[in-house]
Amino acid sequence: MRTLPQLAGLTLAVLASNCAYAQTAYPLRIENCGFPLEIAAPPERVVTIKSTATEMLLALGLGDRIVGVGFQDGPVPPQWAVDDLPVLSEKLPSQEVVLEAEPDLIYGGWESNFAADGAGERATLQAFGVGSYVSPAACRSVKPAKLTFDGLFEEVDEIGKIFDAETAAQALIEQQKAELASVAADSRGLTAVWYSSGTKTPYVGAGNNSPAMIMEALGLENIMADQDEGWISASWEAVVDADPDVIILVDAAWNSAEQKKRLLAENPITSQLDAVMNQRYLVLPFPASEAGVRNVGAVVDMAAQLAALDFTR
Amino acid sequence: MTATQRPTLLTLGIGLWVLLLASVVLAVAFGPADIAPSEVWQTIAHHLGLVADTPVSRLRDAIIWDLRVPRVLVAAGVGAGLALCGTVMQALTRNPLADPYLLGLSAGASLGAVVFLLAGAALLMPVGAFMGAAAAMAFTLLVTQVLGGATPARAILAGISVSALASAATSFLIFWSATGDSYREILSWLMGSLSGAVWSDAVTVLAATIFIGLPVLLSGRALDAFAFGDNAAASLGVDVPRLRWLLLGATALLTGVLVSIGGAIGFVGLIVPHVVRLATGSRHRVLLPVSMLLGAIFMIWSDTAARSLFAPRELPVGIITALIGAPIFILVLVRYRRMT
């Protein structure tokens, strides 16, 4: 069942646009992560791998197409939650498990989901008549451009085309653009580090994926901005040397924000960081930290957290 | 030992000690943070009570004294310890390919550490690694006994099977429980990394290397006897079984400590003794201390490369030691081939 704000958004979009969006002409041919993809008809049976893929379809009201989910990173946010999504596997499902669900499309959040020991090679799946789609921001075969919100909305638009759901896609894009526009970037010139995981060697957000995009939207200067990667294994020395004003903590089930706070406070060196001594943390859930429909919400939420932080000490 | 060799060995010993100290002093000046070497050394002098003031900010002081100094000391200790373990294992098994890996100790230590890490007891990981090394050691001994008693070949075969079992168990655990991106942590740990080394690690590693290393250094003559075979060693008055298991036990203990702090760092224990043998021959009273010194120097520079070459990125040091160690090992193999 769709929730009220979503319906309101859809209605608004339909009213706002006099001309209806063009219906998708099938077969649809697109280049996805260097792979030529041909979609013969709107996919009816979709397996989603990773939370970002699942949530994209739910946000577009396409939950009824999902016949199985795998490798979910956390709970779906309430506004998109649906009852009983069939869980194929807690971890990366194997090819046979995926095919058993008889999908016509597999939508993966990571390109590595499509490997022989995962959902299957993309070419193999194609030979079986099963389409595969990789979230373009997570593409590895072709290096994606530096991620921007416009780039992210292109994925929403592309999914809209694939499913012949352009109206819903445009409505979601307009809604997210409006939400994003409501956030004023912080102008105090604050620096930040995006602490994703790791203990001895921290895995941190670098310069060209969702972490960089979100920090930019918040008006935070990313201390790893010059690293042309999504995330990198950094050294604590580089983090301490930059002494960021704010630390962004990714809250994952397997490595919670609380665990990270404890680690930062107990480590003899990180405990001396300004941000740690003054508890200047921003927290976001792991599924919202990878490129997807939750990034805008994360910006809104973290902007409020940032405004509430105390910089007087 | 002839008279002409004495000054050479003395020069070698003094030279290596000077090189080791110079390596420590120089390596602390490298790192992702751009701090002038003079400021680094002044800060260290300040902490040693030699000068009154530190020229750098609080955080830079912490970078130097709490990150770099303990890490360089850990590298020195791990390098010396691994070289010692490798030398002893090679002597005891009369197998030039022996080191803690061959007898399954490293794999066991890794398994123990990963079990504790995944159980959420990351702080107890060193305990897990030591228990794993000890368990692998005990299991190797047991299998050796079942095979009909301790001979070098049986010990190695037992070690290989224990190692395979422990590695499979580790892989299974990682495969089964890796959620999201937690596998990255485990993998970089298994490849061997000295990142995150703190003072308590430095104290642990150096204490273990010295307290376990000293008695082993004193058994150099007995290790020489092993080179002639168990019977020859026994006829030279060596209590063969007792000394063998004592030394293997010491190696297990040291391996556990080293793996718990640095992860499974490869090739140091394997190649350092070979390189040293080329220069000094195989008398263990010379081979052991020289290997420890060279191992320490090698590890300091490998780790310095791992933490500064791609700054601000950090590389697991095991990649560096393998990149340098594997080609050297091939040269060693070629040389042994000609000699036999």
A117 touches chain B (CB under 8 A): no
* Chain A interface test: which of B57, B188, B314, B317 (most A C-beta within 10 Å): B314
Provide the pLDDT confidence category of residue A78 given band limits of 50, 70 and 90: very high
At residue B181, the pLDDT reads 55
A201/B195 Cβ within 8 A: yes
Reported as a single tens digit per residue, the pLDDT across B119-165 is 877 777 777 888 898 899 889 878 878 888 666 667 778 888 998 89
Residues within 8 A of B (CB atoms), A 182-221 only: 196-201, 203
Size of interface A-B (CB pairs under 8 A): 104
Reported as a single tens digit per residue, the pLDDT across B28-40 is 999 888 889 999 9
Examine residue A185 and state whether it is found in any structural domain, yes or no: no
- The mean pLDDT of A91-107, rounded to a whole number, is 91
Examine residue A23 and state whether it is found in any structural domain, yes or no: yes
Please tell me whether residues A247 and A163 are part of one structural domain: no
Reported as a single tens digit per residue, the pLDDT across B290-332 is 999 999 999 999 999 999 898 888 888 988 998 998 898 788 7
Residue A91 has pLDDT above 60, yes or no: yes
d(CA A254, CA A257) in angstroms, rounded, equals 10
At residue B220, the pLDDT reads 87
Residue numbers in A near B198 (CB within 8 A)? 267-269
Please tell me whether residues A170 and A62 are part of one structural domain: yes
d(CA A253, CA A81) in angstroms, rounded, equals 18
Last-in-domain residue among A144, A179, A214: A179
Of the candidate ranges A54-63, A65-74, A208-217, B276-285, the one whose mean pLDDT is the lowest: B276-285
Provide the pLDDT confidence category of residue A225 given band limits of 50, 70 and 90: very high
Strand partners, A221: A191
One-letter amino acid identity for A204? V
At residue B179, the pLDDT reads 57
Q: Which of B33, B58, B314 sits opposite A234 (nearest CB)?
A: B314
Residue B176 has pLDDT above 90, yes or no: no
- The mean pLDDT of A220-226, rounded to a whole number, is 96
What was the ipTM of the complex prediction?
A: 0.72
Q: Which domains occur in chain B, in start order? A: 13-339 (1.10.3470.10)
At residue B6, the pLDDT reads 56
Residue numbers in B near A238 (CB within 8 A)? 32-33, 311-312
Q: What distance in Å separates residue B40's CA from the closest CA in chain A?
A: 14
Q: What DSSP element (H or E) covers A95?
A: helix A95-100
Please tell me whether residues A150 and A234 are part of one structural domain: no
Of the candidate ranges A4-18, B8-22, B56-70, B249-263, the one whose mean pLDDT is the lowest: A4-18
For B57, name the nearest residue in chain A, comparing CA atoms only. Answer: A241
B34/A237 Cβ within 8 A: no
Examine residue A313 and state whether it is found in any structural domain, yes or no: no
Reported as a single tens digit per residue, the pLDDT across A25-39 is 999 999 999 999 999
A237/B67 Cβ within 8 A: yes
A86 to each of A43, A50, A82, B192, how far by Cα in Å?
A: 17, 14, 11, 40
Q: Which of B58, B67, B182 sits opposite A197 (nearest CB)?
A: B182
Residue numbers in B near A235 (CB within 8 A)? 31-32, 195, 307, 311-314
Q: What DSSP element (H or E) covers A159?
A: helix A149-162
When the pLDDT of each residue in chain A is averaged and rounded to a whole number, the result is 91
Residue B89 has pLDDT above 90, yes or no: no
Examine residue A203 and state whether it is found in any structural domain, yes or no: yes
Contact A273, A244 (CB under 8 A): yes
At residue A168, the pLDDT reads 96
Reported as a single tens digit per residue, the pLDDT across B268-284 is 998 999 889 888 888 99
Please tell me whether residues A65 and A115 are part of one structural domain: yes
Please tell me whether residues A59 and A137 are part of one structural domain: yes
Q: What distance in Å separates residue B69's CA from the closest CA in chain A?
A: 12
Tokens of B316: 């697991």
B189/A254 Cβ within 8 A: no
Sequence-ordered strand ranges (E) for A50-190: 66-70, 87-89, 105-108, 131-134
- The mean pLDDT of B212-233, rounded to a whole number, is 86
d(CA B207, CA B204) in angstroms, rounded, equals 5
Please tell me whether residues A107 and A221 are part of one structural domain: no
d(CA B21, CA A134) in angstroms, rounded, equals 53
Please tell me whether residues A43 and A148 are part of one structural domain: yes
Please tell me whether residues A15 and A90 are part of one structural domain: yes
Q: What distance in Å separates residue B34's CA from the closest CA in chain A?
A: 8
For chain B, the first-to-last Cα distance in angstroms comes to: 25
Contact A43, A104 (CB under 8 A): yes
B31/A268 Cβ within 8 A: no
Examine residue A153 and state whether it is found in any structural domain, yes or no: yes
Residue A15 has pLDDT above 50, yes or no: no
Please tell me whether residues A132 and A33 are part of one structural domain: yes
Please tell me whether residues A34 and A158 are part of one structural domain: yes
- The mean pLDDT of B254-260, rounded to a whole number, is 87
Q: How many domains does chain A have?
A: 2
At residue A47, the pLDDT reads 97
B180/A200 Cβ within 8 A: no
The more confident residue out of A225 and B326 is A225
CA angle B116, B121, B123 (to 5 degrees): 105
A201/B31 Cβ within 8 A: no
Residue A12 has pLDDT above 70, yes or no: no
Contact B41, B25 (CB under 8 A): yes
Tokens of A156: 């929403």
Contact B86, B100 (CB under 8 A): yes
B62/A268 Cβ within 8 A: yes
Q: Which of B60, B68, B196 sits opposite A199 (nearest CB)?
A: B196
For chain A, the first-to-last Cα distance in angstroms comes to: 48
Examine residue A57 and state whether it is found in any structural domain, yes or no: yes
The CATH code of the domain that includes A249 is: 3.40.50.1980
At residue B192, the pLDDT reads 80
At residue B2, the pLDDT reads 46
Q: What distance in Å separates residue B244's CA from the closest CA in chain A?
A: 36
A241/B193 Cβ within 8 A: no
Reported as a single tens digit per residue, the pLDDT across A34-65 is 999 999 999 999 999 999 999 999 999 999 99
Domain that holds residue A238: 191-308
A236 touches chain B (CB under 8 A): yes
Residue numbers in A near B67 (CB within 8 A)? 236-237, 240, 269
Residue B41 has pLDDT above 80, yes or no: yes
Q: What distance in Å separates residue B46's CA from the closest CA in chain A?
A: 18
Q: What distance in Å separates residue B173's CA from the closest CA in chain A?
A: 13
Please tell me whether residues A24 and A164 are part of one structural domain: yes
Residue numbers in A near B182 (CB within 8 A)? 197, 254-255
Strand partners, A28: A39
Provide the pLDDT confidence category of residue B114 given band limits of 50, 70 and 90: confident
A227 touches chain B (CB under 8 A): yes
Q: Which of B122, B196, B311 sits opposite A201 (nearest CB)?
A: B196
* Chain A interface test: which of B58, B176, B179, B188 (most A C-beta within 10 Å): B179
Please tell me whether residues A212 and A291 are part of one structural domain: yes
A273/B314 Cβ within 8 A: no
Last-in-domain residue among A179, A202, A235: A179
Examine residue A81 and state whether it is found in any structural domain, yes or no: yes
Examine residue A94 and state whether it is found in any structural domain, yes or no: yes
The more confident residue out of A200 and A259 is A259
